[in-house]
Amino acid sequence: MSQINSECLFFNDTDDETKVNSLLSGFLIDTALVIQASTPTIQKYQRSHMVRDRYGAHDHLVLAYFAKKPFYNAYLFRKRFRMNRSLFTRIVRDLSANCPYFQEGCDAVEKAGISALVKCTFAIRQLAYDAVLDSLDEYLQIGEKTSRDCLMHFCNGVIELYGEEYLHRPTQTDVELYAFHENKHGFPGMIGCIDYIKWSWAQCPQAYRAQFSRGDSWSEPFILLEVVASQDLWIWHAFFGVAGSNNDVNVLRQSPVLNDLKVGKAPEVPFVANDVTYKWGYYLTDGIYPGWAVLMKSISQPGSNDVKRIRYKQAHEAARKDVERAFGVLKK
């Protein structure tokens, strides 16, 4: 940079004005060059346009799974979509009728957009297989950004359409129906089987691995899911997100189920046992849970001649198949 001496800053009437102007001009030019050199160069990135065969992808998908005589049978459909064909087509139909994102239209160049069937298929594949965003690009002709949008709109649409029916808290009528069912099987006042399952978290950040791991045989980080399920596979209570370092009792103490009982928000299920009337129902649990009045545990070792305890143990284990069956469906 040009050096500016005291002559250009403190000049007198006898100084040459031309010399001063020349020095100032050089100073401004050098300053502009320094600023320009320190400014990072921003390269404009233009997305490359890729021509995709949307019509061909839709037709190929229909021939494979949704034609009158599809190439893949119902067993393979259930295996790959994690649900039967009638349920999936119902979801596609409802989303197309209520969610603008799944309604077919045209893009900026008046070309027909991606069909709702293809969008929902890719969203289900991501949920079922934990697939990366562009894993089915060559098959369904969907780019990475579009596949991400499909998944988000699919999840939001399903919650909006079916959340009020399937995610609501059990009403008094629901609890009474379930208690009536269990009363026929020898457990009057029972309102569910409560248990938890370990949900593996393979992508757990390294900073959280100790919090979500346990020092037993289960070495991977995991999250706990507490569930209350009915005989028709309705999971009407799900408490998800507790760190894996907790056990059954710690999860139970944080559970909204007990909080509702404490504050009196739980539905009343009056029943009579041994000529005693009870106001609240109870849950069937395994042996690790505490001996509270609302938790009914099994008998680990009934006497060989104790017919009543043996019968209770057998009935208890049979009734708890409801929640175990629900876990089996989730694992599939």
pLDDT tens track for 252-272 = 788 887 777 777 777 777 888
Write down the domain spans for the chain. Answer: 6-38, 54-166, 172-331
Angle at 318 between CA 316 and CA 322, to 5 degrees: 105
Pick the closest to residue 295 from 257, 239, 245 (CA basis): 257
> In this structure, what are the phi and psi dihedrals at residue 261, rounded to the nearest 5 degrees?
-65, -35
Q: Determine the Cα–Cα distance for residues 293 and 215; give it in Å rounded to an integer.
A: 31
For residue range 64-109, list pLDDT tens digits in order. Answer: 888 888 888 888 888 888 888 888 999 999 999 898 888 877 766 6
**In this structure, are residues 105 and 113 in contact, taking their beta carbons and an 8 Å threshold?**
yes
Angle at 270 between CA 269 and CA 271, to 5 degrees: 115
Q: What are the tokens at 85?
A: 């064909």
3-state SS, residue 296: strand
Q: Determine the Cα–Cα distance for residues 80 and 77; give it in Å rounded to an integer.
A: 5
For residue range 274-312, list pLDDT tens digits in order. Answer: 888 888 888 888 888 888 888 888 887 777 788 888 888
Query: Which residues neighbour 71 within 8 Å (Cβ) at sequence distance 6 or greater?
Result: 63, 64, 65
For residue range 36-69, list pLDDT tens digits in order. Answer: 666 666 665 566 666 676 777 788 888 888 888 8
Q: How confident is the model at residue 170 (pLDDT cuts 50, 70, 90)?
A: confident
Q: What are the tokens at 11?
A: 């000049």
For residue range 119-152, list pLDDT tens digits in order. Answer: 888 888 888 877 777 677 667 777 778 788 888 9
| Helices 144-166 & 116-129 angle (0-180, nearest 10) | 80
The pLDDT value given to residue 280: 81
Instruction: Name the amino acid, one letter, at 296.
Output: M
Q: How confident is the model at residue 5 (pLDDT cuts 50, 70, 90)?
A: very low
Strands laid side by side in the 295-296 sheet = 235-243, 222-229, 190-200, 282-284, 295-296
Straight-line distance from the first to the last Cα atom of the chain, in angstroms, rounded to the nearest whole number: 72
Continuous segment of H or E residues that includes residue 259: helix 256-263
Instruction: Name the amino acid, one letter, at 321.
Output: K
3-state SS, residue 47: coil
Q: What does the DSSP 8-state code read for residue 13? A: T
Q: What are the tokens at 66?
A: 């949704």
pLDDT over 50 (residue 160) = yes
**In this structure, are residues 272 and 188 in contact, taking their beta carbons and an 8 Å threshold?**
yes
The pLDDT value given to residue 8: 45
Instruction: Name the amino acid, one letter, at 209.
Output: R
Average pLDDT, the chain: 77
Q: What is the DSSP string of 80-134?
A: HHSS-HHHHHHHHHHHHHH-GGGS--B-TTS-B---HHHHHHHHHHHHHH---TT
> In this structure, what are the phi and psi dihedrals at residue 36, rounded to the nearest 5 degrees?
-65, -35
